[in-house]
């Protein structure tokens, strides 16, 4: 029953998974761009985020077509409407990656700062959150979605650590202040990316339970 519709819903999940994979790739490229002496990785990140804009349009169009043609209700309606919400968060994640890539292009000092390890960790955790939230949606797994929300606390804690360290450096050495401020802004972008992943996880939960979670 409803074989065409079922396969269209599966395709929708596959496209969101692809877009999440692109987000992960963009995150890894921007992290590399922070220490990359030539602008290659930043350019790569920008080209990925551009393709994510196109993916967003494509997924939106599919959702609107599904609403029009299939007039979904119940779980089907939640699946399509959650996709429409999640795709916006994925696109915003792309925007944040583009912002980091733009910043890294004009970074004056590419020397590795002490906090870079933690920034990398933030990027890795955010990327994992994006991947896991979409996987939870595809698998209709509310528990897995819940774990993504927990990971966000770790990213928040890392952000606070990074900020504290960089502020200490600025106080200790005026010469490092510019770079420290740039890195604080980048860490803030990453922290926002994790928040978008939380939104996605909440829509994945909604898809299963029908309950819209309170926003943080």
Partner 1 sequence: MQEAILTARGLDLYYGENQALKKIDMEIPERRVTALIGPSGCGKSTFLKTLNRMNDLVPNVRIEGTVEYRGQNIYQPRLDVTWLRRHVGMVFQKPNPFPMSIYDNIAYGPRTHGIRGRKQLDEIVERSLRGAAIWEEVRDRLKKPALSLSGGQQQRICIARALAVEPDVLLMDEATSALDPISTSKIEDLIAELKKQYTIVIVTHNMQQAVRISDKCAFFLMGQLIEFGDTTQLFSMPQDKRTEEYITGRFG
Residue 211 DSSP class: -
Least distance between partner 1 and beta carbon 82 (Å): 12
Q: Considering the rule CB under 8 A, would residue 4 count as an interface residue with partner 1?
A: no
Q: Which is nearer to partner 1, 74 or 106 (CB)?
A: 74
84: contact with partner 1 by CB under 8 A: no
Torsion-angle region of 112 (φ positive above 0: left; ψ -120 to 50: alpha; else: beta): beta
Residue with tokens 């890894």: 28
Q: Is 71 in the site for partner 1 (CB under 8 A)?
A: yes
Question: Out of 15, 32, 67, 77, which residue is the one contacting partner 1 (CB under 8 A)?
Answer: 77
DSSP 8-class letter at 139: T
Can you read off the two tokens belonging to residue 79? 């699946």
Q: Which stretch binds partner 1 (CB under 8 A): 15-23, 48-56, 67-75, 124-132?
A: 67-75
Q: Is 72 in the site for partner 1 (CB under 8 A)?
A: yes
Within the chain, residue ranges assigned H as helices are 3-33, 40-70, 74-105, 116-138, 142-172, 177-209
Residues in touch with partner 1 (CB under 8 A): 1-2, 5, 71-78, 210
């Amino acid at each position: 029953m409803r074989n065409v519709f079922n396969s269209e819903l599966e395709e929708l999940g596959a496209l969101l998974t692809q877009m999440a994979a692109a987000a992960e790739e963009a995150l890894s490229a921007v992290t590399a761009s922070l220490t990359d002496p030539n602008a290659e990785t930043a350019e790569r990140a920008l080209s990925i985020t551009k393709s994510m804009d196109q993916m967003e349009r494509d997924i939106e169009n599919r959702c609107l077509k599904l609403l029009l043609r299939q007039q979904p209700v119940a779980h089907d309606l939640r699946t399509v409407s959650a996709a429409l919400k999640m795709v916006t968060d994925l696109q915003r994640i792309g925007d944040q990656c583009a912002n980091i890539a733009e910043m890294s292009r004009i970074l004056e000092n590419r020397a590795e700062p002490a906090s870079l390890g933690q920034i990398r960790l933030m990027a890795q955790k955010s990327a994992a959150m994006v991947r896991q939230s979409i996987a939870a949606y595809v698998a209709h797994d509310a528990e897995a979605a819940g774990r993504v929300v927990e990971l966000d606390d770790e990213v928040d804690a890392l952000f606070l650590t990074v900020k504290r360290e960089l502020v200490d450096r600025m106080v200790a050495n005026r010469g490092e202040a510019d770079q420290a401020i740039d890195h604080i802004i980048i860490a803030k972008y990453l922290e926002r990316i994790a928040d978008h992943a939380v939104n996605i996880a909440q829509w994945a939960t909604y898809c299963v339970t029908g309950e819209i979670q309170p926003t943080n």
